[in-house]
Structure 1
Amino acid sequence: MSEEIISLKNITKTFVQSSFDGVFNFKALDDVSLSVFKGELLLISGANGSGKTLLMSIIAGLIRPSSGLVEVKERCGIVFQDSDLQILGETPEEDILFGLKNIKLPIEERNKRLEEALKKTGLMDKRYYSSRSLSGGEKRRLCVAGILAMRFPVIIFDEPYANLDYEGVVQVNALIKELRAENYTILLLSHELEKCYALADRFLVLHRGKKVFDGLPDDGLNQNLKEWSIRPPLFSYTKREDLIWI
């Protein structure tokens, strides 16, 4: 068994909401427990509003739970759904160096990490391009490059396929496969299972703030995913009439 590097026990997150009927407490996460092991790729799925992004934010230390225990032994980097909000530099080189300068690394070490991150993410030839002119897939890879340069061993991808075309999805998955092979720990949050299910070592489902499944991907395919508002990924397209989501 690999080393457990993330442990959540009985996590609950409650928000106070108001309506015409008055003020009430809403449980966005309800008694969620999970473990993440070093080097695994955990695919976390669920419909919009199921609590995926909130859970990610708690793991990364951005939000504190209302109750429960959180233990994270490794530093986590997040690739957010909207890459444009995460990119701060005018060029990929400037963006990657932003975090490295903030931690006051010597210039030699900064340059070494910059070169390594650009090479690993396939952005070496785009290092002086305008960051805003990059494709969707390239922007996702740039966000990963910044995390790699900071040497974060855990990478969280929040809906990484949002607004990507086919080429962008292929680029992101190729990078995820490479990172997985290099023993990075990856949490992949997505409801688009047909794009990433084969990458997963383990599959977890959140539904209305509760953990409803946590197990092997093969066993996950036997679950009634539609009951949790998730589109089953196993579809066979053989004729034009199949090409519709119903």
Structure 2
Amino acid sequence: MDLQRASHHFRLLADPTRLRLLLLLDQEELSVAELAAITQLAQPRVSTHLAKLKEAGLVTDRRDGVFVYYRISSTTSDPSLEGVWQFLRRNTEDPLIRQDIGRIGQVLRKRAGEETWADSVAGDMERHYSPGRTWEATARGLVHLLEPGDVLDIASGDGVLAELLAPLPRSIVGLDITRRVAEAGRRRLERFPNARFEVGDMHDLPVADAAFDTVLLMHALTYTREPGAVFREAARALRPGG
């Protein structure tokens, strides 16, 4: 490890807040809000430190519905940085660290008791859409003006729209990021041999390029801060002329 690299590694891990976050994530996968609650720090400050740790390859993140959870990376691209972190992991003892770790159980119990809106209405979403079901009338009208072919319904929820359209296309795939909601979608669509339901992120679709003739985004953009990324993925999934 040369002098410049050593200086970088020690500057990165000399910050006590970053070390606190790493030691917490070594215990449990946690969100920014949960880390902020445990450390009693502002969420923007936590996010800033996590960004630096992620850039260094020490932590990674995972999206689950509208939530993002951080965890320690299983491997890093820099063995010398990994060595410094492992030394600190084994040798750091402090009352504040013990206090932080002692609070993990509290935030996990809180997480277990919470339910997202999508989870709470999974399997019954049609009762919670816009009054008058104008979306249904619009969908029925539009689909008869098109030859839908192979359809991808992004952020499908529990498959209300996919169920409505399923008799018409050659195939239809419903996709939602929330596992519980996706399971409800599979149950809803199981009677249609041309339909299936998958778990996936609309920002990184688990589909091949140019695989669909029609891509649907009903209510999907409500749940993203990166609409451009969603549109790029939708365009990637569409066949020419779709």
Q: Identify whether the pair has TM-score above 0.5, normalized to the shorter chain.
A: no
Name which structure has the greater RCO, CA cutoff 8 Å, separation 6+.
1
Whichever of the two has the greater Rg, that structure is 2
When normalised by structure 1's length, the TM-score is: 0.26
Structure (1 or 2) with the greater strand fraction:
1
When normalised by structure 2's length, the TM-score is: 0.26
Structure (1 or 2) with the greater helix fraction:
2
